[in-house]
Structure formats: C-alpha cells, structure tokens
Amino acid sequence: MAKANGKSEARVAGLDLEHELPAGDGDRSASVGGEQGDPATVGDGSALESELQKVKAERDSLLDRLARAQAEFENARRRAGKEQQDFRDYAAADAIRPLLPVLDSFERALQTKPEAAELRTGVELIYKQLQDALAKLGVRAVAAAGELFDPHLHEAVEMVETDTIPDHQVLEELQRGYQFKDRLLRPAMVKVAKNSGK
C-alpha cells in the first residue's frame, strides 16, 4: 500500500514536475524577453530621432516636388487653353478669305449704272447681307481714303504728286482691305499723296 502510495506520490510528483517545466521555460523566455527590451540592446534613442528626421525631410522634399509639378501642370493647362482659344478665333480666316473677291465683285457692280433699278436694289441687298455676315464673324474693312498711309494696313500701288493734300495721305482706295479681329487678311490697295512741300 505504501508502494502504491509511493507510486501515486511519484506520479503526482511527476505531474508536478511536468507542470513546472513549462513554467520554468516561461520564466526563461520572460527573462530573455526582458533582455530584448533592454534599451542597451535596441539602440540609442538619438539614432531613432535621426532616422525620424531623415524620413520627415524626405517627406517634405516629396511634397515640395508635388507642389511644383501641380503648378507646372496648371500653367501647361492654361497655355493649352489659350492656344485652343486662339485656334478657334482664327480658324475661320481661311474660310473668309475666298469671300473677299465676292465683295469686290459686288462693289464693282454697284459702281456701274444698270438700267433696271430693281437689279441694283437686289445687288445692294445681297452686298449688305454678306457684309453683315462677315461682321458677325469679326471681319471689318480697313479704313483707307483720307487716312494717313499705314504700311501695316495699306499697300501703296501709286504715289501721286500734289500740292494740296498732306504728304503720305491716302488719296484713293483701289481695293478694300479687310481685318479679321486683330489679324490683317489683306491690305488695302491705295494711291498715296506725295507732297514735297509738306
């Protein structure tokens, strides 16, 4: 009975030992963990601070580059918008230019004296309609007769000696010039006064 008790005590003792071993291991791991958490093994706090400062500097540099890239993109977008607007404004110039001889023909027809008054009235009406249509597109005639000669707007085809008209004044418009907004489509062909005395 004593042996049985001894065996049971041994068994109980063995169980106790078996239960104690994991606890012992846990103590050992806890002590190892304590050593890992030691500031001396992790590193100096100033090294972490230095690394943090480097990361912040890189972040600020990237943010600055991003802001510059956004500004450049905005400028490029504005330039592209202006170029598109300019293209829209002047795209019709090539379509308008072929209409100018039509205006010339109308003007020549109106300078004649047709027998039928109705014909003249009809031509005048068409001429006025065409002028209005072109005006809506931004086309306007270049002022010539009586104006001072401007080489940017007028093309002198003849110089006329005179003593009564100021020098370089346009005497006569031979062919009307036209502008489309701020662009010259065609200069006015004119006769210009040449007054040597003035």
pLDDT band for 29, please (50, 70, 90 cuts): very low
143 in a structural domain: yes
Asked whether residue 51 is domain-assigned, the answer is no
157 located within any domain: yes
Assigned domain for 119 exists: yes
Q: What pLDDT sits at residue 15?
A: 46
Structural domain contains residue 167: yes
With respect to residue 8, please indicate whether it lies within any of the assigned structural domains: no
Q: Is residue 58 over pLDDT 50?
A: yes
pLDDT (average), residues 72-86: 88
Residue 67 lies in a domain: no
Averaged over 68-82, what is the pLDDT?
A: 90
If one counts the domains in the chain, the total is: 1
C-alpha to C-alpha distance for 49 and 137, rounded to whole angstroms: 68
- Domain-located, residue 153: yes
Least confident residue range of 12-16, 169-173, 187-191: 12-16
CATH number assigned to the domain comprising residue 147: 2.30.22.10
User: How confident is the model over 91-135, as pLDDT tens digits?
Assistant: 778 778 878 888 888 887 777 776 777 777 778 888 888 888 888
Domain range enclosing 172:
93-194
Quick: pLDDT tens for 132-178: 888 888 888 998 888 888 888 898 888 888 878 888 888 888 889 99
